[in-house]
Amino acid sequence: MSNILHVCIESILDAPATLSKPNKRWHLAFATIYCSRALHSLLNKKNKKTSKLPLSTPSFVVLNVERHLAFSNIEHKSLTEVVKKKNLDQLREFGGVAGVADALKTDDKNGIHGDVEDIARRQEVFGSNTYPRPPAKSFFYFVLEAFKDLTILILLACATLSLGFGIKEHGLKEGWYDGGSIFVAVFLVISVSAVSNFRQNRQFEKLSKVSNNIKVEVVRDGHRQQISIFEIVVGDVVCLKIGDQVAADGLFLDGHSLQVDESSMTGESDHVEVNCHQNPFLFSGTKVADGYGQMLVTSVGMDTTWGGMMSTISRDLNEETPLQARLNKLTSSIGKVGLAVAFLVLVVLVVRYFTGNTEDENGNQEFNGGKTKANDIVNAMVRIIAAAVTIVVVAIPEGLPLAVTLTLAYSMKRMMADQAMVRKLSACETMGSATTICTDKTGTLTLNQMKVTKYWLGKEPVEDSSSIDTHVLKLIQQGVALNTTGSIYRATSGSEFEFSGSPTEKAILSWAVLELGMDMEAIKQNYSILHVEAFNSEKKRSGVLMRKKADNKIHVHWKGAAEMILAMCSSYYDASGSIKCLDDGERMTFEQIIEGMAASSLRCIAFAHKQIPEEKQEISESRQKLKEDSLTLIGLVGIKDPCRPGVRKAVEDCQYAGVNVRMITGDNVFTARAIATECGILRPDQDMNGEAVVEGEVFRNYTPEERMEKVDKIRVMARSSPFDKLLMVQCLKQKGHVVAVTGDGTNDAPALKEADIGLSMGIQGTEVAKESSDIIILDDNFASVATVLKWGRCVYNNIQKFIQFQLTVNVAALVINFVAAVSAGEVPLTAVQLLWVNLIMDTLGALALATEKPTKELMEKPPVGRTEPLISNIMWRNLLAQALYQIAILLTLQFKGESIFGVSEEVNDTLIFNTFVLCQVFNEFNARKLEKKNVFKGLHKNKLFLGIIGITIILQVVMVEFLKKFANTERLNWGQWGVCIGIAAASWPIGWVVKSIPVSEKPFLSYLKW
């Protein structure tokens, strides 16, 4: 028996030597399963005490091999731990990075196959690159939050008491009206508040998902392509460059000078160098600080340290903005006044009740010493407290924070459609106060669609590539092919080339391949790269040290900003391919060529080369330091990046609105001046004294006093480093400006954080820049920046409209109730009626006024200063005029209404209530324009406003005509409705007249700081 098993195992394990490595693994898997099944069947037979052996062994076994057997020779958990713990020894046991790539079925050059089946299998075995988010706040959470409001709780207590005593006194059929109606009104207020907050929260959740959906570059089937971070799978080859966020945990495959900022994981601010030998480990959530490279993904989603951390964190987008903080202060100030008035009303009503100065419905004295029942006294007290509390409800403008929330949520949604994604709510408001915008050139003012249009060899422009000397042509091709972070992909020999990389890299690669006939792969195979100095915005150049495989000679190639490369050269190739000395006269000629190209709005890039002498080769190889002097200039290329259509108009719009636009660019002075003039940032005659255009180095070397003196005059800063940008932002802020800054590079992060509003670019922007910004401009277009400015002003303006509308109601309701309570001993507007008014002005009013779209008028005014009061003199003028009119009319109705119209007290109270509500409806139109007399302009475009006005009127008719018991009203005839509408409509001509009254510049309440 054992002999048969032994022979069986030997025959299975005896794998032919010719089998490939993957086939050997399958052979081993087959043997393992076969043997385990044989053993299992033998054990079963032994247990059944059966000694019979099968007469014949089947010649085959049916294997149910699951998909994950494809990755059977590597345990994923162990691999995850190796990377997390940076365990080099264990990594070597796996066969190093190459062994892991082999086990994960990844080609280190071409990546995974990436077909649907391959991706699905990898996701099934290793998981997807997502992590569970904390559950979103439910609707009931917001209902409970609304219940926490103290005034709501007091009202509910009053409603409960009123309901209890009402039912006890009048029975269930009649007694539930007072308490029940307060319950219904409170329920309505809570519902509307909870629904608004819930919807806003849902919107923020959606925005959060969009902002987390980062695009990542991967290599699949030899093709570099961009995919969502959530689509990355284990085995993917991910391309990394400066500013990228590492998308998953993995191992370094290939690259140069790669440095990673791991502060988000470790808290250490020092950058960590990543390479093949000492530290090949990369972690999700970290940022690339320098260099470039490719990584092999080993774990995704919840298997990464970052995934574990992020699943416990919920990003709270409901931060309190500066405007909300100011409004909360304003709300509490008004609330205190309301409480004082409510307390006075309470005292007056209680005193009048106990001194026998109040009468019941039948005209009898309500309180009559010891004869009055305890139930009646409690009922009366509940009614008085409910009236006082309701005054507090009306006095406290809870609608203000709601209005801000609605305005911000609405504007965020609309801004998203206008290509701007808000990351920080406060930026919406602050943008309305911006006084200056510092913008990049490339991709923001220009299209970022670069094309090589000029090439100079020596001192002559080259029109036809066939005229270039063969040796020089080879040098150019080497300089382009080996000193680049871009790549070329061609599916088949007949198909078109696909270029990837930065726009500049793509332009140069395209020119070299299509016009110079460069074969990138062939060149790469003939050379081995020894060291690379990656391009960054401070050095403005990149270099490569390489060895030619054929003769072992070492060469160095440089590429970068023309004047910087020119300064490193001591000779140049002329058109015939001869090397000429670069003396001062020749150098000046080249500088003029560069200036001429720059003046034509061309970005000028130079190529230089040097062969390292044999005696210095060893030193150069050991130090791996690139030679930076005595180079030979190969040539100059001019790259055209046309201005975006519509940029000039957007710049003019900003300037017309009192916002200065400044351009900060890494290009040289002449290119910068040409583009700035083309875009309208600089007038042709503006830079006569040389103060409007300045170089970064010059600005940096000014004394602090000189900088502060000249910064306001600067319109263009050329050849600037990120530090110069930061310095300019700091100077402008010290001068009192509200500064908005656009940026796309990693090094722009300090300036984006320092600015009042940081605007990063959605297409060209690095993840580091986006993380540091407040708003992401999704299409990289300056016109979108101008749109954000318009929306910022719209937010501020809408909130001012609502404040004016709400305070008019507050002032009128407080004065009317207070005067009536003190003089007549009763409140004309009941608790339910006041709650209804509260609902109209707080929620429906906020919806109507907070959703007005930006108008051209907003861009005709200068920016609103940060210190200017929220309630301007214009608002005080409009507000007080309307409030005084309402108080005068309603108090006249209160004291003389019965005799004027010959109606009963109940009808008169209904007339007061109806007129008061209709006054608010008409005043809502007045609030649409703070200064303009024509309040109907653009009304037809705001369907929501018209809808809310319609709903308010319909509900008011229902309240008056059909809800007699609930709202404590009496039906009105057509004549009485006409009177109410006529009185309310008078607020339109009053508003028109009042807007003609001039107001002073000095704030009305300059001694009060909201």
* Residues designated as active site: 440
Residues 6+ apart with CB under 8 A from 178: 162, 163, 166, 383
Strand 554-561, strand 541-548: pairing: antiparallel
Tokens 């995974």 sit on residue: 112
What is the distance, to the nearest Å, from the Cα of residue 828 to the centroid of all Cα atoms in its chain? 49
Report the greatest alpha carbon distance in the chain.
124
Nearest to 438 by CA among 775, 764, 716, 693: 716
Phi then psi dihedrals of residue 1007, to 5 deg: -85, -15
Kindly list the distances between the CA atom of residue 288 and the CA atoms of 396, 467, 508, in Å, as whole numbers in the listed order.
51, 42, 24
Q: Six-digit token pair at 549?
A: 């495989």
Task: Answer whether 409's CB lies under 8 Å from 422's CB.
Answer: no
Look up tokens 């939050």; give the residue. Answer: 145
- Kindly give the pairing relationship between strand 215-220 and strand 223-228: antiparallel
Strands 660-664 and 716-718, how do they pair?
parallel
Write the CB contacts of 194 (distance below 8 Å, at least 6 apart in sequence).
139, 142, 143, 145, 146
Q: Which of 958, 813, 878 is nearest to 387 (CA)?
A: 813
Which amino acid, one-letter code, is at 546?
M
The string of DSSP letters for 315-383 reads ----PPPHHHHHHHHHHHHHHHHHHHHHHHHHHHHHHHHHTT--B-TTS-BS--GGGS-HHHHHHHHHH
Q: Cα(184)–Cα(193) distance, rounded to whole angstroms?
A: 14
> What DSSP character marks residue 224?
E
Pairing of strands 631-640, 602-611: antiparallel
Cα 457 from Cα 633, distance rounded (Å): 9
Q: b/e map of 851-885 (b: 16 or more CB within 10 Å)?
A: bbebbeebbeeebbeeeebbbbbbbbbbbebbbeb
CB contact at 8 A, 483 and 559: yes
Which 3 state secondary structure label does DSSP give 683? coil
Residue 594 vs residues 178, 454, 458, 696: alpha-carbon distances, Å: 86, 11, 12, 19
The phi, psi pair for 21, rounded to 5°, reads -60, -50
Tokens of 189: 């207020």
User: 289, exposed or middle or buried, with CB in 10 Å at 0-12, 13-18, 19+?
Assistant: buried
- Asked whether the beta carbons of 74 and 100 are under 8 A apart, the reply is yes
Rounded to the nearest 10°, the torsion over CA 597, 602, 605, 606 is -10
Q: Which amino acid is at 93?
A: E
Q: What sign results for the dihedral spanned by CA atoms 955, 957, 962, 964? A: positive
Helices 831-839 and 782-824: crossing angle in degrees, nearest 10, is 170
DSSP E strands, 181-320: 215-220, 223-228, 237-240, 249-261, 271-273, 281-282, 287-299
Q: What is the CA radius of gyration of the chain?
A: 39
Q: Which residues pair with 281 in a beta bridge?
A: 251
Helix (H) or strand (E) holding 513: helix 503-514
Tell me if residue 534 falls in helix, strand or coil.
coil
